[in-house]
Amino acid sequence: MKQGTQEVVVKSCCNMCYRLCGVLVHLRDGKVTKVEGDADCPVNRGNLCIKGPAAVERLYHQARIKYPMKRTGAKGEGKWQRISWDEALDTIAGAMNRAKERYGAKSIVFSNGDPKGYEVYMLRLCNVFGTPNMCGPGHVCSLPRRMGSNITSGLNVETGTDYTPDLDHPPACVLMWGANIAITHNPNYVRLERALDQGTKLIVIDPRKTELASRADLWIRPRPKTDLALALGMINVIVNEELYDKSFVSNWTVGFDMLEEHVQGYTPQKVAEITWVPAEQIVEGARMYATAKPACIQDGNAIDDDINSVQTERAVSILRAITGNLNIPGGEVDYAPLTLGIKQHFTPGKQGTANFMLTEKLSEEQREKRLGADLGTLPLPMAEFVLPQLLVKAILTEKPYPIRVLCVHANNPLITWSNAKEVYQALMKLDFLYVADQFMTPTAELADVVLPATTYLEVDDIANRAPFAVVRQKVAQIGEAWPDKKIINELAKKLGFAEYFWNDVNDVLDSILEPVGLTFDEFRKVGTLEQPKEYRQYERDGFKTPSGKVEIYSSRLEEWGHDPLPVYHEPPETPYSAPELAKEYPLILTSYHQAPFRHSNNRQIASLREREPDPLVEIHPETAARLAVDDGDMVYIETKRGRIKQRAMLTEGIDPRVIGVSYAWWFPEKGVESLHGWEESNINILTASEPPYNQEIGSTNLRGILCRVYKVND
Ligand code: SF4
């Protein structure tokens, strides 16, 4: 902390998304005036994306929820009464205990959103309370990639992060696969830019011409959700042209011979038909990636949300392995985990975290009762979270058992879960819903009790995501807002579990840091901890798989009833799998984030909203001409489940058969009568919650679905 005459500067860690950028928070007379990048923080070295500085506006926004409130009118009527924390927690604990008594603890479900660090506290409470049901978005965001890579090569099992491309050691080639890191991962984007300046070649695989695609040496534009076929086509070229690393393959992989045979069914010509990528481009991409040494693949969320999700990551992991890029400088690196008393980024089944979560307090018998346990997904602890689509159906049908109470922290299911109309019905049917958030979202408007949650500027904490831990320091207090972890801690005490929680939740911070020999007060000065990189540790320890090698052919997947080699399955609602439907809905929908927003966040932050006031749907000019749509027109986008409105943005950067719909829109400025316009432009009015799901982890099919577009004339 630097003391000036009046100004104080405090180190902290941005949480406008979960990339852990270090920040310097400037205060004047006790008020936060500015947030800027911390040049000493190795995560971001002083850089922030456009969301970072807006934390100040978010902190002091007049629409922040400042006090606990209980609903006094009908659900969604907007009638609230301020209550004390004591009354709020008593009310919640009473509702939970009543449901527990009547329907069992499993009738109460906790739900989390984007990782913020409180999730392990929530799991701890689930375990001691006795519910196996914690619901998260991981099945369509990051878990397919983590599980696919873990099963294949064991990388990142310990750290629980996605692959880490070693961009600091400039790779000769970076393959950006469905990852628009210019807006979603600023720390890596800055590193990539530096690498590109030093001559790194760039391949971008994306159905949309993103800023990165415009700068790429090769832009490959697949039909949305055919990535697995594309990866298998690239493997076909690499195998048949013998571009693979023969020494690595023979010493460190299992099942290459079976892969060789398997990919003969994925010739560039066949894959071109599936993906709409010209065969020559598949060959060119495969050669460019496989012959560059070293090379790395940064994959993104586009891999996660369809029936092929986990197996797409398997194929991408196989590409990394057979080209000899695993764990080498400039390839994909793994980090030993930072040894802390907690991993705030939840890693399924890891011991340190499992202990913190008091996993043993929930019996195996009770754990097996979690919703979806019979779905045939990966065994515990790999597929531990309840799938939102199953939770919604269980609330509505009371099968396999009734769900009565939903506890929502930092997420907005009405906007972010698939099949939003169904989600609405489910939220309306609950006996009791509480929502902890910073703003009144459409979901919060349906709650019985709303709790004011803090921003990161109002909490002391250790932000931890391998390979870094970065300090967060409380510099402000808005109303009576509490950090989510404190809400959970105090609720646990009301429920009678004080012995498993803390007098003050911050008491745990010192013990979390104990393994690194620091107290939290000492950590305030240190700011960041970083685990050093280690290359080729597999030569010493083997890969963290049962065979100690990269498992191209996975006997474990076979044993669990899944494809042991990745097989492309056509998603359920495409021109090929549903040709009759395609006559009525001839376009294919993909989706994207607009830069100022993080999921459903930030629409009320004026400086960010000014940059992107409207939801924009990308349409090719030829398609628009055919539909008599001009740039800037409002259009309906319709699937067989419903329709929404967005503003047309014409671009040559998308296939004429595809449109790019903006994700997670609602309108805080619109009144509660419409629940802030939750239905108007919300992409999840269009998406399905029906099977088939991804076999391994249960991903729903959120992109690559059939739709039509027409001009709004009303
Ligand atoms: S990428 Fe942007 S929003 Fe995310 S932590 Fe960094 S500055 Fe904050």
Same domain (yes/no): 198, 163 = yes
Domain assignment of residue 664, given as a range: 579-711
Query: Of 62, 63, 81, 64, which is closest to residue 448 (Cα–Cα)?
Result: 81
d(CA 47, CA 596): 16
Same domain (yes/no): 161, 287 = yes
Q: Reply yes or no on whether the pLDDT at 54 is more than 90.
A: yes
Task: Find the CATH number of the domain harbouring 486.
Answer: 3.40.50.740
Same domain (yes/no): 270, 162 = yes
> How confident is the model at residue 339, as a pLDDT?
66
Q: Reply yes or no on whether the pLDDT at 604 is more than 50.
A: yes
The gap from C-alpha 142 to its chain's centroid, in whole angstroms, comes to: 5
> How confident is the model at residue 159, as a pLDDT?
61
Residue 110 lies in a domain: yes
C-alpha of residue 487 to centroid of ligand 1, in Å: 25
C-alpha of residue 695 to centroid of ligand 1, in Å: 33
Average pLDDT over residues 690-703: 96
Same domain (yes/no): 256, 314 = yes
Same domain (yes/no): 555, 604 = no
Percent of the chain with pLDDT over 70: 95
Residue 60 lies in a domain: no
Task: Find the CATH number of the domain harbouring 331.
Answer: 3.40.228.10
Same domain (yes/no): 455, 351 = yes
At 238-294, the pLDDT tens digits run 999 999 999 999 999 999 999 999 999 999 999 999 999 999 999 999 999 999 999
DSSP secondary structure string, 3-52? E-SSEEEEEEE--SSSS--EEEEEEETTEEEEEEE-TT-TTTTT---TTG
C-alpha of residue 115 to centroid of ligand 1, in Å: 13
Same domain (yes/no): 615, 642 = yes
Kindly list the distances between the CA atom of residue 170 and the CA atoms of 47, 68, 605, in Å, as whole numbers in the listed order.
19, 50, 36
Q: Reply yes or no on whether the pLDDT at 237 is more than 90.
A: yes
At 129-175, the pLDDT tens digits run 999 999 999 899 988 998 999 899 987 665 656 568 999 999 999 99
Residue 18 lies in a domain: no
Q: Reply yes or no on whether the pLDDT at 600 is more than 60.
A: yes
Q: Is the backbone of residue 136 left (phi > 0), alpha (psi -120 to 50) or beta?
A: beta
Count of domains observed in the chain: 3
Task: Find the CATH number of the domain harbouring 601.
Answer: 2.40.40.20
Residue 199: partners with Cβ closer than 8 Å, 6 or more residues away: 170
Kindly list the distances between the CA atom of residue 8 and the CA atoms of 3, 21, 44, 56, 695, in Å, as whole numbers in the listed order.
5, 20, 22, 15, 53
- Our answer on whether the CB atom of 52 is closer than 6 Å to any ligand 1 atom is yes
Q: Reply yes or no on whether the pLDDT at 708 is more than 90.
A: yes
Residue 410: partners with Cβ closer than 8 Å, 6 or more residues away: 112, 113, 114, 116, 118, 436, 437, 453, 484
Percent of the chain with pLDDT over 90: 87
192-211 burial, b at 16+ Cβ within 10 Å, e below that, comes to: bbebbeeebbbbbbbbbbbe
C-alpha of residue 551 to centroid of ligand 1, in Å: 35
Residue 196 lies in a domain: yes
Residue 15 lies in a domain: no
Higher-pLDDT residue of 700 and 537 is 700
Residue type, 623: T
At 411-432, the pLDDT tens digits run 999 999 999 999 999 999 999 9
Same domain (yes/no): 308, 348 = no
Same domain (yes/no): 331, 361 = no
pLDDT band at 346 (very low <50, low <70, confident <90, very high): very low
Same domain (yes/no): 157, 131 = no
Average pLDDT over residues 202-211: 97
Choosing from 12, 13, 16 the residue with most ligand 1 atoms within 8 A of its CB, the one to mutate for a pocket test is 16
Residue 50 lies in a domain: no
> How confident is the model at residue 117, as a pLDDT?
85
> How confident is the model at residue 357, as a pLDDT?
86
Same domain (yes/no): 423, 284 = no
d(CA 712, CA 632): 11
Q: Reply yes or no on whether the pLDDT at 566 is more than 90.
A: yes
Query: Do 441 and 600 touch, CB atoms closer than 8 A?
Result: yes
Atom of ligand 1 nearest to the CA of 20: 5
At 386-408, the pLDDT tens digits run 999 999 999 999 999 999 999 99
Average pLDDT over residues 314-335: 94
Same domain (yes/no): 510, 635 = no
> How confident is the model at residue 315, as a pLDDT?
98
